[in-house]
Amino acid sequence: MGKLPHFLLILSAFLRAFSLANSQPYIGVNYGEYADNLPAPESTAHLLQSTTISKLRLYGADPAIIKSLAGTNISLVLGTTNGEIPSLATDPSTAAAWVSSNVLPFLPATSIATISVGNEVLTSGDSSLSSQLLPAMQNLKSAIPAGIKISTVHSMAVLSQSDPPSSGAFHSDLAPSLNSILQFLHDNESPFMVNPYPYFAYQSDQRAETLAFCLFQPNSGRPDPASGVTYTNMFDAQVAAVRAALGAAGFAGTEVVVAETGWPYNGDAGEAGATVDNAKAYNGNLVTHLKAMVDPVETYIFALYNEDLKPGPTSERSFGLFKTDLTPIYDAGLIKSEGGAGQVTTPSPAPAETGSGSVPGIALSAPPPADVCVPGRGGSTCGQPVVQNLPTNPDESNGEVERRWRLWKDRRCMVGMWSDFFLYVALAVLVMR
């Protein structure tokens, strides 16, 4: 091969790799199936391919959904239910059978990145289940093919301290189970997966300034005296608190994955802020925020569709991004043809301050009734406290962030065009030789 076509092929490969490396591999979505009106898996696969979503998290291992994503390059997080943990923990052959049924038949056509063992187990109130979580993870790790991570998802209730974010710490009574799990994650280079919901933070501090802080809208910020960082949104503050807790536990540097976060677009009379405007603002601004970050956190938005069979308040059935007829409920900036999300700066009216003396970011309200809790099914958590806690650049306006993102996206399109051009030229030269 001559030097010219060889050079052009190398240049094309480099540009293509550069383009793919910046294809938003950090935006995912949760797919809950507690519903009786969900579209066919193939329809969902086509929907996902029309968006910038590159990852999908399941709470189980539905074979039809896994198969439908073959060849799509959409990466999957599969889940085991909390009810499966005891058998997975006590019998390695059960773990091997689970992998043989739910993973191996779909490889390599479907991309399976992670297996999440249970959901919010350590804060479920079941100490027996908590003690069986690590053995279940270990047995699955022994059975799983190389390259697939094993983790588990936690609620923010694993934190005992989070305000300011730099003081983040885990509950000491969880240490016997949690420390061993953290060591497992460290040894296997697996992520710490957690469910931060600024929406629930707002429920216990319903001031207008708190709503703006939760929705990534202009606000005065909240300084952390110890770190010197001023946080401009609740999402970053929550993630920072988790990272601080990991550092305090001796596991600094562990990757944090946001397994769930979202905002309901509808709610009952007592569910403040559950409106279409606020849901669009939170999820749309979250997407814009992630795109603008230098090192974005892998984040799964809750949820792809509403789950109409979920019990509890109306908000539990109102987290969906899309209707089951595959049309968007609102524009969150995820449809490829519509570009990035825009800033929505007008929140729904917030209730007046109550003068209760509550401190932003600290839970003072009572946990929700037990009958509205749906452990292991996603959505809100049982008695989840409001735990707050990294801005990209607090000095940048929202418009500037959006402008930079659009400029960067245009440059990425240009990179892809030139990579194809050089590839075609190289092939043409080779054919003519």
Q: Are 294 and 232 in contact (CB under 8 A)?
A: no
* Structural domain includes residue 406: no
* Structural domain includes residue 8: no
Answer yes or no: pTM beyond 0.75: yes
What is the extent of the structural domain holding 39? 25-394
Note the pLDDT of residue 195.
98
* Structural domain includes residue 19: no
Closest to 343 measured CA to CA, from 207, 212, 245: 212
Note the pLDDT of residue 24.
73
* Structural domain includes residue 190: yes
Per-residue pLDDT of the chain (433 residues; tens, 9 = 90+): 455 545 544 444 444 344 333 347 899 999 999 999 999 999 999 999 999 999 999 999 999 999 999 999 999 999 999 999 999 999 999 999 999 999 999 999 999 999 999 999 999 999 999 999 999 999 999 999 999 999 999 999 999 999 999 999 999 999 989 999 999 999 999 999 999 999 999 999 999 999 999 999 999 999 999 999 999 999 999 999 999 999 999 999 999 999 999 999 999 999 999 999 999 999 999 999 999 999 999 999 999 999 999 999 999 999 999 999 999 999 999 999 644 443 443 344 333 333 333 223 323 223 333 333 333 333 333 433 334 333 333 333 334 433 343 344 444 444 444 444 454 455 555 545 5
- Is it true that the peptide bond before 108 is cis, omega within 30 degrees of 0? yes
Q: How many domains does the chain have?
A: 1
Beta strands in 96-211 (DSSP E): 111-119, 149-155, 159-161, 169-170, 192-195
Q: How far apart are CA 301 and CA 286, in angstroms?
A: 9
* Structural domain includes residue 192: yes
Q: Is the sign of the CA dihedral 163, 169, 173, 178 positive or negative?
A: positive
pLDDT digits 0-9 by tens, 277-295:
999 999 999 999 999 999 9
Closest to 232 measured CA to CA, from 394, 76, 98: 394
Q: Tell me how many degrees the CA angle 422-425-429 measures, rounded to the nearest 5.
A: 140
* Structural domain includes residue 292: yes
Domain CATH number, residue 92: 3.20.20.80
Q: Is the sign of the CA dihedral 99, 102, 104, 107 positive or negative?
A: negative
* Structural domain includes residue 407: no
Q: How far apart are CA 56 and CA 69, in angstroms?
A: 10
User: How crowded is residue 270: how many other Cβ atoms within 10 Å of its Cβ?
Assistant: 8
* Structural domain includes residue 384: yes
Q: How far apart are CA 181 and CA 194, in angstroms?
A: 14
Backbone φ and ψ for 230, nearest 5 degrees, come out as: -105, 115
Note the pLDDT of residue 398.
39
Q: How many CA atoms lie within 13 A of 397 on its CB side?
A: 4
Beta bridge partners of 257: 193
Q: How far apart are CA 274 and CA 380, in angstroms?
A: 13
pLDDT digits 0-9 by tens, 36-58:
999 999 999 999 999 999 999 99
Note the pLDDT of residue 90.
97
- Tokens representing residue 405 in the block: 């993102």
Which residues are marked as active site?
120, 260
